[in-house]
Amino acid sequence: MSAVIGSERDGATAPVARGAQERAIAFDARGEVPLARFLAQVRGVAAALPPGTHAVNLCEDRYRFLVAFCAIAARGQVNLLPPSRAPAVVDEVLAQYPGSLCVTDVALAPAPPRCWQLRERLPELPGEVPLLDPAATVAIGFTSGSTGRPQPNPKTWGGFARSTAQNLAALADLWAPAPGGVRVVATVPPQHMYGMEMSVLLPLLAEAAVHAGRPFFPEDVACALAHAEAPRLLVTTPVHLRALLHSGVALPPLAGIVSATAPLAPELAAQAEARYGCEVRELFGSTETCVIARRRTACAQAWTPLPGVRLTPQPDGTLVQAPHLPAPRTLADVVELLADGRFRLCGRNTDLIEIAGKRGSLGDMTRRLLAIPGVEDGVVFQLDAPDAHGVRRIAALAVAPTLDEAAILAALRRALDPVFLPRPLRLVPRLPRNETGKLPRDRLLALVREEAGR
């Protein structure tokens, strides 16, 4: 189905971006990009795109990703959003959608098949605002692979619009109304669904402008925020937030910090609130559901569902119903519903394990590992293959330059039941985190095998 189907007057279409033509949609050290220029470039790139039904959007610059995303949708094509831009991951996506175009803003080596690179100077064409069919699939996001093979999740433009309205309502009390709206700086890639919601859809469909780049190191984050007018919203992850705090870098005044992609420790949230003088608001969601709940982690354990979100515990997880979802989705997360409408997250069904009749949580074990002084990063997980006794052993990887394995195990013995002590526990220089800080399971297993072979 083509996404562009006519004028907005027929009542069946929606604009690819909303707001006054002069409002800023993006900014960087060079200044702001008004919506009018952005739309001209969307039309120009859409006219130049090669034909096809799907396009893998590999653009690294966030502004160019925005242009490519909208141009692909305006052509009636579907954005494919791989969980990583690693060649092997891109190849897996291309294998599922043969003949797909790959759109990039930099030269890739090796280049995937049908690779089409945006010109340094983006073409511009005059015309009307591109219009999309709300029922059209405009993107397919893929799960991260942290629990297995990445799975595709189609998203429609209408579903995106509804989820963005919910997200804005969940965040808008963080900042006072200001001309031009909020300025967003994001450390998470736009291909990730959290990055898509907070740094692509928010500037397209709300009074918001996003920094054109993707700052990674603490100094880069501070520089990007310095280019933004107030109010400023930092969209980040626990890994990036921890790095910011450890760096000691100063940040300009923030309206708020938003975190997702992995559980945020209450202690880390409290430290960030004290250091930066703003609320840290954690969002809960998934590629399958988009954002469905929020909490202030520094002072609340329970989550507040977004309006219209309904959760129903199931034997294998939780059934999620929401206005932006075309059908209920089942998540692997186990929740406890509270009388006041909030819920507690008890972990994933794959996170809760039983050994020798005793039950434990891998997430809680990881939290206890990270709490050991000297452990800079770490993860506890269960191996796939059972041992000689038929038990799937627990393993751990830790980054702890000043400790040895014996010291870490001794600390864990004071916090864990002996049956849950990780064996093997390996010290590594770094964990194989992806761009959002997640740990693909296949890379963890490979690292354990590599360390065992040394």
Q: Return d(Cα 228, Cα 183) in angstroms, integer.
A: 6
Give the strand pairing for 78-81 and 333-337.
unpaired
Confidence category of residue 279, pLDDT binned at 50, 70, 90: very high
Position 5 pLDDT exceeds 60? no
Angle at 361 between CA 358 and CA 367, to 5 degrees: 135
- pLDDT given at position 357: 63
Tokens describing residue 180? 């031009």
**Does 387 or 80 have the greater pLDDT score?**
80
Q: Return the minimum-mean-pLDDT range out of 103-117, 134-148, 270-284.
A: 134-148
Report DSSP state, residue 447. Answer: H
Q: Return d(Cα 207, Cα 212) in angstroms, integer.
A: 16
pLDDT tens-digit profile of 375-402? 999 999 988 777 665 667 889 999 999 9
Whole-prediction pTM value?
Answer: 0.82
Q: Which of 96, 224, 237 is nearest to 153 (CA)?
A: 96
Confidence category of residue 349, pLDDT binned at 50, 70, 90: low
- pLDDT given at position 208: 96
Domain ranges of the chain: 8-346, 352-452
Residue 74, CA distances (Å) to 2, 14, 127, 144 in order:
8, 11, 13, 27
Position 155 pLDDT exceeds 90? yes
pLDDT tens-digit profile of 252-262? 999 999 999 88
Confidence category of residue 149, pLDDT binned at 50, 70, 90: low
| Phi then psi dihedrals of residue 173, to 5 deg | -75, 0
> How many of the other CB atoms lie within 10 Å of CB of 429?
6
Report DSSP state, residue 303. Answer: B
DSSP codes of every residue in 149-211 = S--EEEEEHHHHHHHHHHHHHHHGGGS---TT-EEEEE-S-TTSHHHHIIIIIHHHHSSEEEE
Q: Return d(Cα 37, Cα 25) in angstroms, integer.
A: 10
Instruction: Look at the domain 352-452 and name its fold.
Output: GMP Synthetase; Chain A, domain 3 (3.30.300)
Q: Return the minimum-mean-pLDDT range out of 81-85, 372-376, 382-386.
A: 382-386
Position 284 pLDDT exceeds 60? yes
**How big is the chain by its Cα radius of gyration, in Å?**
22
Q: Span 8-346: which CATH code? A: 3.40.50.12780
SS3 452: helix
Are 43 and 116 spatial neighbours (Cβ–Cβ below 8 Å)? no
Are 257 and 277 spatial neighbours (Cβ–Cβ below 8 Å)? no
